Structure 1
Amino acid sequence: MSDPDHRERMTQLEERIARLKGKDVPAKPHQEEHYSQAHLAWRMVIELVVGLLIGFGIGFGLDSLMGTLPVFLVLFTLLGLAAGIKTMMRSAQEIQQQAGEAAQEDTPKGAKDKEGR
């Protein structure tokens, strides 16, 4: 089963695969950027929804334990909304900082921006 011809063909195949993997395939930056932007948008939406759901769950749990009207439900849902918005804003700030750092890396050292800085 392990004849020399078979081993030689397998070795050649492995070399060919290694060469093909080593070649640089030109990337399509527009599609990667689009995927990145969609990923960031979904991240922000999920952060907001999770904040709402956690607040809703805590409020509902407290209301059911204490036998109260949906006072805690409303209160904690609003607190969850505020927490989700705060987390979403923090993510947006992080994204802006990363974009600013990337823009600074792309700018040549002697070049000035539009405002002449």
Structure 2
Amino acid sequence: MIDPAEKERLERLEARIRALKKAEVANTEKGHMDEHYSQAQLAWRMVVELVAGLGIGFGIGYTVDLWLGTMPIFLVLFILLGFAAGVRVMMRSAAEVQRQQMAEQAAKDDERD
């Protein structure tokens, strides 16, 4: 037979375990939502960077073509350069986010140990 004091101690322990599991589930759901929004923000950031590169290239090319009287040559050239610049900035942003995620994962791994 189990001593009443021992039984009460086990019930308190079970209650603590249930509370910790609920807190862990709540943190997991919150983390998933934060990750979802951060991924969406990253995608929009990359789209904006690419469109900005194209827009700036278009503006410079069109202006140079109007100034020199050579209509499509510089427009096409600077649009391609703007596209290349936009892709380069996107790749830099992706590398930055990857470094941040690796640092966060390393911190989580250190906490577990």
Residue of structure 2 in register with 1:42 after alignment: 44
Unaligned runs of 5+ in 1: 1-25, 112-117
Q: Secondary structure at the match of 2:74?
A: helix
- Tell me, in whole angstroms, the C-alpha distance in 1 between the residues paired with 2:44 and 2:32: 18
TM-score in terms of structure 2 length: 0.71
Residue of structure 2 in register with 1:18 after alignment: none
Runs (4 or more) in structure 1 with deviation over 6 Å come to: none
Residue of structure 2 in register with 1:65 after alignment: 67
Instruction: Using the TM superposition, give the Cα deviation of residue 46 of structure 1 relative to its aligned residue in structure 2, in angstroms.
Output: 0.5
TM-score in terms of structure 1 length: 0.69
Q: 1:77 aligns with which of 63, 76, 79?
A: 79
Q: 1:56 aligns with which of 50, 55, 58?
A: 58
Residue of structure 2 in register with 1:31 after alignment: 33
* Aligned length in residues: 86
Percent of pairs with identical residues: 56
- Tell me, in whole angstroms, the C-alpha distance in 1 between the residues paired with 2:100 and 2:55: 29
Residue of structure 2 in register with 1:96 after alignment: 98
Instruction: Using the TM superposition, give the Cα deviation of residue 33 of structure 1 relative to its aligned residue in structure 2, in angstroms.
Output: 1.0
Instruction: Using the TM superposition, give the Cα deviation of residue 30 of structure 1 relative to its aligned residue in structure 2, in angstroms.
Output: 1.4
- Tell me, in whole angstroms, the C-alpha distance in 2 between the residues paired with 1:46 and 1:108: 36
- Bigger fraction of residues in helix: 2
Unaligned runs of 5+ in 2: 1-25
